[in-house]
Chains A and B, each alone.
Chain A
Amino acid sequence: MKPFTYERPADVAEALAMAAAVPGSRFLAGGTNLVDLMKLQIEQPTHLVDVSRLPLAEIAETAEGGLRLGATTTNSQVAADMKVRARYPALAQAILSGASGQLRNKATTAGNLLQRTRCAYFYDTTKPCNKRQPGAGCAAIGGIYANTAIFGSSEACIATHPSDMAVAMSALDAQVEIAGPNGQERAISLEALHRLPGETPHIETSLQPGEMITAVVLPPPPPGGQIYRKARERASYAFAIGSVAVAGGKVALGAVAHKPWRARAAEQALADGANPAEAMAAELSSAKPDGHNDFKLKLMARLGAACLTTTGAGDGQ
Protein backbone atom coordinates (compact mmCIF):
# COMPACT_ATOMS: atom_id res chain seq x y z
CA MET A 1 0.00 0.00 0.00
CA LYS A 2 1.05 3.59 -0.63
CA PRO A 3 1.20 5.74 2.49
CA PHE A 4 -1.92 7.68 3.44
CA THR A 5 -3.29 9.59 6.38
CA TYR A 6 -6.45 8.67 8.29
CA GLU A 7 -9.21 10.59 10.05
CA ARG A 8 -12.45 9.62 11.76
CA PRO A 9 -15.17 12.30 11.57
CA ALA A 10 -18.07 12.53 14.02
CA ASP A 11 -20.76 13.65 11.59
CA VAL A 12 -21.52 14.02 7.91
CA ALA A 13 -20.56 17.69 7.72
CA GLU A 14 -17.18 16.97 9.26
CA ALA A 15 -16.64 14.02 6.92
CA LEU A 16 -17.37 16.15 3.87
CA ALA A 17 -15.08 18.91 5.10
CA MET A 18 -12.23 16.48 5.85
CA ALA A 19 -12.48 14.94 2.41
CA ALA A 20 -12.64 18.33 0.72
CA ALA A 21 -9.56 19.55 2.59
CA VAL A 22 -7.14 16.96 1.19
CA PRO A 23 -6.81 16.26 -2.56
CA GLY A 24 -6.90 12.52 -3.26
CA SER A 25 -9.13 11.76 -0.25
CA ARG A 26 -11.48 8.83 -0.22
CA PHE A 27 -14.24 7.74 2.11
CA LEU A 28 -13.59 4.42 3.85
CA ALA A 29 -16.59 2.33 4.93
CA GLY A 30 -16.18 -1.43 5.50
CA GLY A 31 -12.96 -1.34 3.50
CA THR A 32 -13.65 -4.73 1.93
CA ASN A 33 -13.20 -3.36 -1.58
CA LEU A 34 -11.11 -0.23 -1.06
CA VAL A 35 -8.45 -1.81 1.19
CA ASP A 36 -8.25 -4.81 -1.14
CA LEU A 37 -7.56 -2.51 -4.11
CA MET A 38 -5.13 -0.38 -2.10
CA LYS A 39 -3.03 -3.46 -1.38
CA LEU A 40 -2.74 -3.96 -5.13
CA GLN A 41 -2.05 -0.22 -5.60
CA ILE A 42 -4.97 -0.06 -8.01
CA GLU A 43 -6.38 2.48 -5.59
CA GLN A 44 -3.92 4.99 -4.11
CA PRO A 45 -5.77 7.44 -1.88
CA THR A 46 -3.65 9.99 -0.04
CA HIS A 47 -6.15 10.35 2.78
CA LEU A 48 -8.91 8.15 4.18
CA VAL A 49 -11.96 9.60 5.87
CA ASP A 50 -13.51 6.75 7.86
CA VAL A 51 -17.28 7.06 7.53
CA SER A 52 -18.02 3.67 9.11
CA ARG A 53 -18.95 5.15 12.51
CA LEU A 54 -21.07 8.03 11.27
CA PRO A 55 -24.62 8.01 12.65
CA LEU A 56 -25.97 6.66 9.33
CA ALA A 57 -26.58 3.06 10.39
CA GLU A 58 -30.34 3.22 10.76
CA ILE A 59 -33.11 1.46 8.86
CA ALA A 60 -36.15 3.74 9.17
CA GLU A 61 -39.71 3.81 7.84
CA THR A 62 -40.43 6.64 5.38
CA ALA A 63 -43.64 8.65 5.35
CA GLU A 64 -44.43 7.10 1.93
CA GLY A 65 -44.41 3.57 3.38
CA GLY A 66 -40.93 2.62 2.23
CA LEU A 67 -37.62 2.27 4.03
CA ARG A 68 -34.56 4.48 4.30
CA LEU A 69 -31.35 2.49 4.61
CA GLY A 70 -28.57 4.64 6.05
CA ALA A 71 -25.33 4.59 4.05
CA THR A 72 -23.38 2.76 6.74
CA THR A 73 -25.94 0.05 7.47
CA THR A 74 -24.07 -3.19 6.94
CA ASN A 75 -25.13 -5.74 4.38
CA SER A 76 -25.72 -8.21 7.25
CA GLN A 77 -27.87 -5.72 9.13
CA VAL A 78 -30.08 -4.97 6.13
CA ALA A 79 -30.50 -8.64 5.20
CA ALA A 80 -31.36 -9.55 8.82
CA ASP A 81 -33.92 -6.78 9.23
CA MET A 82 -37.46 -8.17 9.45
CA LYS A 83 -38.97 -5.18 7.62
CA VAL A 84 -36.62 -5.84 4.71
CA ARG A 85 -37.19 -9.60 4.79
CA ALA A 86 -40.98 -9.26 4.86
CA ARG A 87 -41.41 -6.40 2.35
CA TYR A 88 -38.31 -6.54 0.14
CA PRO A 89 -37.41 -10.25 -0.03
CA ALA A 90 -35.59 -9.75 -3.36
CA LEU A 91 -33.23 -7.33 -1.64
CA ALA A 92 -32.58 -9.67 1.29
CA GLN A 93 -31.91 -12.55 -1.12
CA ALA A 94 -29.60 -10.42 -3.28
CA ILE A 95 -27.53 -9.33 -0.29
CA LEU A 96 -27.40 -12.85 1.14
CA SER A 97 -26.21 -14.20 -2.21
CA GLY A 98 -23.18 -11.89 -2.13
CA ALA A 99 -19.74 -12.47 -0.64
CA SER A 100 -19.59 -14.30 2.74
CA GLY A 101 -20.96 -13.89 6.26
CA GLN A 102 -17.69 -12.24 7.35
CA LEU A 103 -17.62 -9.80 4.45
CA ARG A 104 -21.29 -8.87 4.80
CA ASN A 105 -20.65 -7.97 8.44
CA LYS A 106 -18.30 -5.22 7.25
CA ALA A 107 -19.70 -4.30 3.82
CA THR A 108 -22.01 -1.28 3.85
CA THR A 109 -24.93 -0.16 1.73
CA ALA A 110 -22.97 2.73 0.14
CA GLY A 111 -19.72 0.79 -0.20
CA ASN A 112 -21.51 -2.07 -1.90
CA LEU A 113 -23.02 0.26 -4.50
CA LEU A 114 -19.61 1.83 -5.16
CA GLN A 115 -17.53 -1.36 -5.31
CA ARG A 116 -15.47 -1.62 -8.47
CA THR A 117 -15.54 -4.21 -11.23
CA ARG A 118 -14.02 -7.67 -10.78
CA CYS A 119 -12.75 -7.73 -14.40
CA ALA A 120 -9.65 -9.95 -14.24
CA TYR A 121 -7.58 -7.47 -16.25
CA PHE A 122 -8.55 -4.60 -14.01
CA TYR A 123 -6.95 -6.62 -11.20
CA ASP A 124 -3.93 -7.70 -13.29
CA THR A 125 -1.68 -4.66 -13.15
CA THR A 126 0.62 -6.12 -15.82
CA LYS A 127 -2.18 -5.77 -18.42
CA PRO A 128 -3.59 -2.61 -20.05
CA CYS A 129 -6.89 -1.37 -18.65
CA ASN A 130 -8.64 1.88 -19.52
CA LYS A 131 -10.34 1.91 -16.16
CA ARG A 132 -7.08 1.79 -14.21
CA GLN A 133 -5.16 3.94 -16.66
CA PRO A 134 -7.27 5.96 -19.11
CA GLY A 135 -6.03 5.52 -22.67
CA ALA A 136 -3.97 2.39 -21.95
CA GLY A 137 -6.28 0.04 -23.87
CA CYS A 138 -8.47 -2.84 -22.77
CA ALA A 139 -7.00 -6.31 -22.31
CA ALA A 140 -10.43 -7.84 -21.84
CA ILE A 141 -11.40 -7.17 -25.47
CA GLY A 142 -10.13 -10.29 -27.19
CA GLY A 143 -8.86 -11.65 -23.86
CA ILE A 144 -9.85 -14.89 -22.18
CA TYR A 145 -11.93 -13.46 -19.32
CA ALA A 146 -15.57 -14.16 -20.14
CA ASN A 147 -17.54 -12.53 -17.31
CA THR A 148 -18.05 -9.42 -19.41
CA ALA A 149 -20.94 -7.26 -20.57
CA ILE A 150 -23.56 -8.09 -23.18
CA PHE A 151 -25.35 -4.74 -22.85
CA GLY A 152 -24.06 -1.18 -23.10
CA SER A 153 -20.34 -1.91 -23.44
CA SER A 154 -17.99 0.31 -25.46
CA GLU A 155 -14.77 0.09 -27.45
CA ALA A 156 -13.03 1.24 -24.28
CA CYS A 157 -14.40 -1.19 -21.67
CA ILE A 158 -16.55 -4.32 -21.53
CA ALA A 159 -16.54 -4.79 -17.75
CA THR A 160 -19.57 -5.50 -15.58
CA HIS A 161 -20.68 -4.13 -12.23
CA PRO A 162 -20.34 -6.92 -9.65
CA SER A 163 -22.92 -5.98 -7.01
CA ASP A 164 -25.86 -8.26 -6.30
CA MET A 165 -27.54 -5.82 -3.90
CA ALA A 166 -27.64 -3.04 -6.50
CA VAL A 167 -29.53 -5.23 -8.98
CA ALA A 168 -32.36 -5.79 -6.53
CA MET A 169 -32.36 -2.09 -5.63
CA SER A 170 -32.67 -1.23 -9.31
CA ALA A 171 -35.75 -3.43 -9.73
CA LEU A 172 -37.16 -1.85 -6.56
CA ASP A 173 -36.77 1.69 -8.01
CA ALA A 174 -34.50 2.79 -5.16
CA GLN A 175 -33.35 6.40 -4.74
CA VAL A 176 -29.87 7.41 -3.61
CA GLU A 177 -29.47 10.36 -1.24
CA ILE A 178 -26.28 12.34 -1.64
CA ALA A 179 -24.61 15.11 0.38
CA GLY A 180 -22.03 17.46 -1.16
CA PRO A 181 -19.05 19.37 0.21
CA ASN A 182 -20.86 22.72 0.25
CA GLY A 183 -23.78 21.42 2.26
CA GLN A 184 -25.95 20.73 -0.78
CA GLU A 185 -28.13 17.61 -0.78
CA ARG A 186 -29.71 15.80 -3.70
CA ALA A 187 -31.43 12.52 -4.51
CA ILE A 188 -31.13 10.54 -7.72
CA SER A 189 -32.56 7.26 -8.90
CA LEU A 190 -30.30 4.27 -8.46
CA GLU A 191 -30.44 3.90 -12.23
CA ALA A 192 -28.78 7.31 -12.57
CA LEU A 193 -25.96 6.50 -10.12
CA HIS A 194 -23.90 4.14 -12.26
CA ARG A 195 -22.77 5.08 -15.78
CA LEU A 196 -22.12 3.10 -18.93
CA PRO A 197 -18.42 3.05 -19.85
CA GLY A 198 -18.45 5.05 -23.11
CA GLU A 199 -15.08 6.70 -23.70
CA THR A 200 -14.46 7.21 -19.98
CA PRO A 201 -14.73 3.87 -18.16
CA HIS A 202 -12.73 5.29 -15.24
CA ILE A 203 -15.70 7.55 -14.43
CA GLU A 204 -18.09 5.00 -12.99
CA THR A 205 -20.81 7.00 -11.27
CA SER A 206 -22.55 10.35 -11.44
CA LEU A 207 -21.20 11.35 -8.01
CA GLN A 208 -19.25 14.60 -8.12
CA PRO A 209 -15.86 14.87 -6.39
CA GLY A 210 -16.28 15.03 -2.63
CA GLU A 211 -19.89 13.87 -2.66
CA MET A 212 -21.00 11.24 -0.21
CA ILE A 213 -23.91 8.81 -0.27
CA THR A 214 -25.94 9.21 2.91
CA ALA A 215 -28.83 6.79 2.32
CA VAL A 216 -30.70 4.56 -0.09
CA VAL A 217 -34.47 5.00 -0.03
CA LEU A 218 -36.76 2.17 -1.06
CA PRO A 219 -40.24 3.17 -2.20
CA PRO A 220 -43.13 1.04 -0.93
CA PRO A 221 -42.82 -2.47 -2.39
CA PRO A 222 -44.68 -2.84 -5.71
CA PRO A 223 -47.64 -5.24 -5.84
CA GLY A 224 -46.67 -8.73 -7.00
CA GLY A 225 -43.97 -11.26 -6.23
CA GLN A 226 -40.27 -10.65 -5.74
CA ILE A 227 -37.21 -12.78 -6.32
CA TYR A 228 -33.44 -12.55 -6.78
CA ARG A 229 -31.57 -15.40 -8.43
CA LYS A 230 -27.90 -15.60 -9.20
CA ALA A 231 -25.88 -17.96 -11.40
CA ARG A 232 -22.22 -18.46 -10.55
CA GLU A 233 -19.32 -20.83 -11.04
CA ARG A 234 -19.59 -22.40 -7.60
CA ALA A 235 -22.51 -22.78 -5.22
CA SER A 236 -21.61 -19.96 -2.80
CA TYR A 237 -19.06 -17.18 -2.13
CA ALA A 238 -18.59 -16.26 -5.78
CA PHE A 239 -19.57 -13.33 -7.96
CA ALA A 240 -22.47 -13.64 -10.38
CA ILE A 241 -21.99 -14.58 -14.00
CA GLY A 242 -25.62 -13.55 -14.44
CA SER A 243 -28.41 -12.60 -12.07
CA VAL A 244 -32.04 -11.52 -12.18
CA ALA A 245 -34.13 -9.43 -9.79
CA VAL A 246 -37.89 -9.23 -10.18
CA ALA A 247 -40.18 -6.99 -8.14
CA GLY A 248 -43.76 -7.05 -9.37
CA GLY A 249 -43.52 -6.07 -13.04
CA LYS A 250 -40.00 -4.57 -12.67
CA VAL A 251 -36.97 -6.53 -13.84
CA ALA A 252 -33.23 -5.88 -13.47
CA LEU A 253 -30.31 -8.00 -14.61
CA GLY A 254 -26.87 -8.35 -13.01
CA ALA A 255 -23.40 -9.16 -14.36
CA VAL A 256 -24.45 -8.21 -17.88
CA ALA A 257 -23.45 -4.52 -18.03
CA HIS A 258 -21.30 -1.80 -16.49
CA LYS A 259 -24.27 -1.04 -14.23
CA PRO A 260 -27.28 -2.92 -12.88
CA TRP A 261 -29.25 -3.40 -16.10
CA ARG A 262 -32.87 -2.38 -15.88
CA ALA A 263 -34.72 -4.62 -18.36
CA ARG A 264 -37.21 -2.06 -19.73
CA ALA A 265 -37.93 -4.04 -22.91
CA ALA A 266 -38.82 -7.11 -20.84
CA GLU A 267 -41.02 -4.99 -18.58
CA GLN A 268 -42.82 -3.49 -21.58
CA ALA A 269 -43.33 -6.92 -23.13
CA LEU A 270 -44.79 -8.23 -19.86
CA ALA A 271 -47.13 -5.25 -19.68
CA ASP A 272 -48.22 -6.04 -23.24
CA GLY A 273 -49.10 -9.60 -22.27
CA ALA A 274 -45.93 -11.48 -23.20
CA ASN A 275 -45.07 -14.69 -21.35
CA PRO A 276 -41.78 -14.94 -19.40
CA ALA A 277 -39.76 -16.45 -22.24
CA GLU A 278 -41.05 -13.86 -24.70
CA ALA A 279 -40.31 -11.04 -22.31
CA MET A 280 -36.70 -12.18 -21.88
CA ALA A 281 -36.36 -12.62 -25.65
CA ALA A 282 -37.51 -9.03 -26.09
CA GLU A 283 -34.79 -7.82 -23.72
CA LEU A 284 -32.03 -10.01 -25.11
CA SER A 285 -32.76 -9.06 -28.73
CA SER A 286 -30.62 -5.96 -28.17
CA ALA A 287 -27.76 -7.81 -26.40
CA LYS A 288 -24.34 -7.74 -28.06
CA PRO A 289 -22.30 -10.75 -26.93
CA ASP A 290 -18.68 -10.78 -28.14
CA GLY A 291 -17.98 -14.43 -28.81
CA HIS A 292 -16.47 -15.15 -25.39
CA ASN A 293 -19.58 -14.38 -23.42
CA ASP A 294 -22.23 -15.80 -25.76
CA PHE A 295 -23.22 -18.21 -23.00
CA LYS A 296 -24.88 -15.31 -21.21
CA LEU A 297 -27.66 -15.15 -23.81
CA LYS A 298 -29.00 -18.59 -22.97
CA LEU A 299 -28.19 -18.21 -19.29
CA MET A 300 -30.11 -14.95 -18.95
CA ALA A 301 -33.02 -16.16 -21.11
CA ARG A 302 -33.50 -19.19 -18.87
CA LEU A 303 -32.74 -17.55 -15.53
CA GLY A 304 -35.01 -14.61 -16.35
CA ALA A 305 -37.87 -16.79 -17.55
CA ALA A 306 -37.57 -18.97 -14.44
CA CYS A 307 -37.71 -15.93 -12.16
CA LEU A 308 -40.68 -14.40 -13.96
CA THR A 309 -42.51 -17.71 -13.86
CA THR A 310 -41.85 -18.10 -10.13
CA THR A 311 -43.14 -14.65 -9.25
CA GLY A 312 -46.03 -14.85 -11.69
CA ALA A 313 -45.01 -11.57 -13.35
CA GLY A 314 -47.04 -11.10 -16.48
CA ASP A 315 -49.94 -13.21 -15.18
CA GLY A 316 -52.43 -10.43 -15.66
CA GLN A 317 -50.68 -7.90 -13.38
Chain B
Amino acid sequence: MKTHFTINGQAASLDLDPRTTLLDALRERLDLKGSKKGCDHGQCGACTVLVNGQRINACLSLAVTHEGDEITTIEGLAQGEALHPVQAAFLEHDAFQCGYCTPGQICSTIGMLKEAADGWASLATDDLTADTVLTDEEIRERMSGNLCRCSAYPQILAAIRSAGGLA
Protein backbone atom coordinates (compact mmCIF):
# COMPACT_ATOMS: atom_id res chain seq x y z
CA MET B 1 0.00 0.00 0.00
CA LYS B 2 1.45 3.37 -1.07
CA THR B 3 2.06 5.62 1.92
CA HIS B 4 3.52 9.10 1.95
CA PHE B 5 5.04 10.86 4.92
CA THR B 6 7.69 13.38 5.84
CA ILE B 7 10.63 11.93 7.72
CA ASN B 8 13.08 14.31 9.33
CA GLY B 9 11.97 17.02 6.94
CA GLN B 10 12.26 14.89 3.79
CA ALA B 11 9.33 13.56 1.81
CA ALA B 12 9.27 9.76 1.66
CA SER B 13 6.88 7.41 -0.03
CA LEU B 14 6.88 3.68 0.50
CA ASP B 15 4.89 0.78 -0.86
CA LEU B 16 4.09 -1.07 2.35
CA ASP B 17 2.67 -4.40 3.45
CA PRO B 18 0.00 -3.20 5.94
CA ARG B 19 1.64 -5.40 8.60
CA THR B 20 4.74 -3.16 8.67
CA THR B 21 5.06 -1.16 11.86
CA LEU B 22 6.36 2.38 11.74
CA LEU B 23 9.46 1.11 13.57
CA ASP B 24 10.17 -1.54 10.93
CA ALA B 25 9.50 0.93 8.11
CA LEU B 26 12.07 3.31 9.62
CA ARG B 27 14.69 0.69 10.37
CA GLU B 28 14.29 -1.82 7.55
CA ARG B 29 13.00 0.27 4.68
CA LEU B 30 14.53 3.71 5.29
CA ASP B 31 17.73 2.54 6.99
CA LEU B 32 17.10 4.84 9.96
CA LYS B 33 18.37 2.50 12.66
CA GLY B 34 18.56 5.07 15.46
CA SER B 35 15.10 4.16 16.73
CA LYS B 36 15.60 0.90 18.62
CA LYS B 37 13.52 -2.24 18.96
CA GLY B 38 13.70 -3.19 22.63
CA CYS B 39 10.54 -5.15 23.27
CA ASP B 40 8.34 -4.59 20.18
CA HIS B 41 5.31 -4.49 22.55
CA GLY B 42 5.06 -0.95 23.92
CA GLN B 43 6.80 -1.92 27.15
CA CYS B 44 10.18 -0.17 26.99
CA GLY B 45 10.10 3.10 25.00
CA ALA B 46 13.27 2.40 22.97
CA CYS B 47 11.30 2.96 19.75
CA THR B 48 9.94 6.39 20.75
CA VAL B 49 9.67 8.83 17.83
CA LEU B 50 7.82 12.12 17.34
CA VAL B 51 4.78 12.13 15.07
CA ASN B 52 3.45 15.62 14.35
CA GLY B 53 5.39 16.69 17.45
CA GLN B 54 3.93 14.05 19.79
CA ARG B 55 5.91 11.14 21.21
CA ILE B 56 4.62 7.65 20.43
CA ASN B 57 5.88 4.06 20.42
CA ALA B 58 6.73 3.31 16.78
CA CYS B 59 6.55 -0.44 17.45
CA LEU B 60 2.79 -0.46 18.07
CA SER B 61 1.81 1.81 15.20
CA LEU B 62 1.20 0.49 11.69
CA ALA B 63 3.15 2.52 9.13
CA VAL B 64 0.18 2.75 6.71
CA THR B 65 -1.74 4.71 9.35
CA HIS B 66 0.81 7.54 9.06
CA GLU B 67 -0.22 8.88 5.64
CA GLY B 68 0.69 12.59 5.54
CA ASP B 69 2.33 12.60 8.99
CA GLU B 70 5.52 14.41 9.94
CA ILE B 71 7.85 12.00 11.67
CA THR B 72 10.99 12.97 13.55
CA THR B 73 13.53 10.39 14.67
CA ILE B 74 16.79 10.76 16.55
CA GLU B 75 18.56 11.18 13.16
CA GLY B 76 16.56 14.35 12.49
CA LEU B 77 17.32 16.33 15.64
CA ALA B 78 20.76 17.84 15.07
CA GLN B 79 21.17 20.80 12.72
CA GLY B 80 24.32 19.78 10.86
CA GLU B 81 27.04 19.56 13.52
CA ALA B 82 24.95 21.42 16.11
CA LEU B 83 23.28 18.98 18.48
CA HIS B 84 19.71 19.48 19.64
CA PRO B 85 19.78 20.95 23.18
CA VAL B 86 18.38 17.72 24.62
CA GLN B 87 21.09 15.69 22.87
CA ALA B 88 23.72 18.09 24.21
CA ALA B 89 22.31 17.80 27.73
CA PHE B 90 22.48 13.99 27.58
CA LEU B 91 26.15 14.19 26.55
CA GLU B 92 26.93 16.82 29.16
CA HIS B 93 25.37 14.75 31.96
CA ASP B 94 26.66 11.37 30.80
CA ALA B 95 23.06 10.17 30.63
CA PHE B 96 23.72 6.73 29.19
CA GLN B 97 25.93 3.69 29.44
CA CYS B 98 25.26 1.26 26.57
CA GLY B 99 23.18 3.86 24.72
CA TYR B 100 20.46 1.48 23.54
CA CYS B 101 17.61 3.34 25.22
CA THR B 102 19.07 6.77 24.45
CA PRO B 103 17.42 7.66 21.12
CA GLY B 104 14.06 6.82 22.67
CA GLN B 105 14.89 8.72 25.86
CA ILE B 106 15.84 11.82 23.88
CA CYS B 107 12.79 11.78 21.58
CA SER B 108 10.59 11.11 24.59
CA THR B 109 12.15 14.02 26.48
CA ILE B 110 11.43 16.41 23.61
CA GLY B 111 7.81 15.26 23.45
CA MET B 112 7.49 15.39 27.23
CA LEU B 113 8.87 18.94 27.51
CA LYS B 114 6.33 20.08 24.93
CA GLU B 115 3.51 18.38 26.87
CA ALA B 116 4.65 20.16 30.04
CA ALA B 117 4.94 23.48 28.20
CA ASP B 118 1.37 22.95 26.98
CA GLY B 119 0.28 22.57 30.60
CA TRP B 120 -0.52 18.85 30.59
CA ALA B 121 -0.80 17.30 34.05
CA SER B 122 0.69 13.98 35.17
CA LEU B 123 -0.09 11.55 37.96
CA ALA B 124 2.56 13.35 40.02
CA THR B 125 0.59 16.61 39.76
CA ASP B 126 -1.11 17.35 43.09
CA ASP B 127 -3.34 20.15 41.86
CA LEU B 128 -4.69 19.14 38.45
CA THR B 129 -5.70 22.68 37.56
CA ALA B 130 -2.46 24.41 38.58
CA ASP B 131 0.39 25.38 36.24
CA THR B 132 2.89 22.65 35.45
CA VAL B 133 6.15 22.75 37.39
CA LEU B 134 8.68 20.11 36.33
CA THR B 135 9.91 18.84 39.67
CA ASP B 136 12.11 15.73 39.75
CA GLU B 137 9.08 13.69 40.72
CA GLU B 138 7.18 15.05 37.74
CA ILE B 139 10.05 14.27 35.35
CA ARG B 140 10.34 10.70 36.68
CA GLU B 141 6.62 10.07 36.31
CA ARG B 142 6.40 11.62 32.84
CA MET B 143 9.42 9.61 31.64
CA SER B 144 8.30 6.27 33.10
CA GLY B 145 7.57 4.96 29.60
CA ASN B 146 11.30 4.81 28.87
CA LEU B 147 13.19 2.04 30.60
CA CYS B 148 16.97 2.01 30.90
CA ARG B 149 18.47 -1.42 31.56
CA CYS B 150 21.78 0.22 32.49
CA SER B 151 19.87 2.23 35.05
CA ALA B 152 21.35 5.58 34.08
CA TYR B 153 18.25 7.18 35.59
CA PRO B 154 19.98 9.73 37.88
CA GLN B 155 21.99 11.09 34.94
CA ILE B 156 18.97 11.03 32.62
CA LEU B 157 17.03 12.99 35.22
CA ALA B 158 19.88 15.51 35.52
CA ALA B 159 20.06 15.90 31.74
CA ILE B 160 16.33 16.49 31.46
CA ARG B 161 16.37 18.92 34.36
CA SER B 162 19.01 20.99 32.61
CA ALA B 163 17.35 20.69 29.18
CA GLY B 164 13.94 21.67 30.56
CA GLY B 165 12.68 24.72 28.73
CA LEU B 166 15.26 24.36 25.97
CA ALA B 167 13.41 21.88 23.78
Contact = CB atoms under 8 A, between A and B. Distances in A.
A36 B18 contact: no
Given A96-B121, A101-B145, A102-B108, A31 B65 contact: yes
B154 interface: no
B40 A32 contact: no
A93 B60 contact: no
B37 to A, nearest CB: 12
B57 A102 contact: yes
B145 A102 contact: yes
B56 A80 contact: no
Interface residues of A, number: 37
Contact of B129 (A5, A48, A82, A93): A82
Secondary structure of the B side of the interface?
A: loop
B61 A86 contact: no
A89 B128 contact: yes
Nearest to B112: A101
How many B residues touch the partner, as a band? 35 or more
Interface in A63-89: 76, 79-80, 82, 85-86, 89
B65 A52 contact: yes
Nearest to B115: A101
Contacts of B1: 6
Contacts, number: 107
Given A97-B123, A99-B145, A31 B62 contact: yes
B42 interface: yes
Give the interface centre of B61, B115, B121 by most chain A CB atoms within 10 Å. B121
A1 interface: yes
Nearest to A94: B123
A56 to B, nearest CB: 16
A237 interface: yes
A152 B115 CA distance: 40
A93 B57 contact: no
Given A1-B19, A6-B1, A80-B121, A105 B141 contact: no
B45 A102 contact: yes
Contacts of B31: none
Contacts of A106: 56-57, 60-61
A112 to B, nearest CB: 14
Contacts of B45: 100, 102
Contacts of A80: 115, 118-121
Contacts of B123: 93, 96-97, 236
Nearest to B52: A105
Nearest to A48: B18
A28 B60 CA distance: 12
Given A6-B1, A97-B123, A28 B65 contact: yes
A264 interface: no
B129 A85 contact: yes
B142 interface: yes
26 contacts: A1-B19, A3-B17, A28-B65, A31-B61, A35-B21, A35-B61, A36-B60, A48-B18, A80-B118, A80-B119, A82-B129, A85-B121, A86-B129, A89-B128, A92-B121, A99-B42, A100-B45, A101-B112, A101-B115, A102-B48, A102-B56, A102-B108, A103-B42, A106-B61, A235-B144, A236-B141
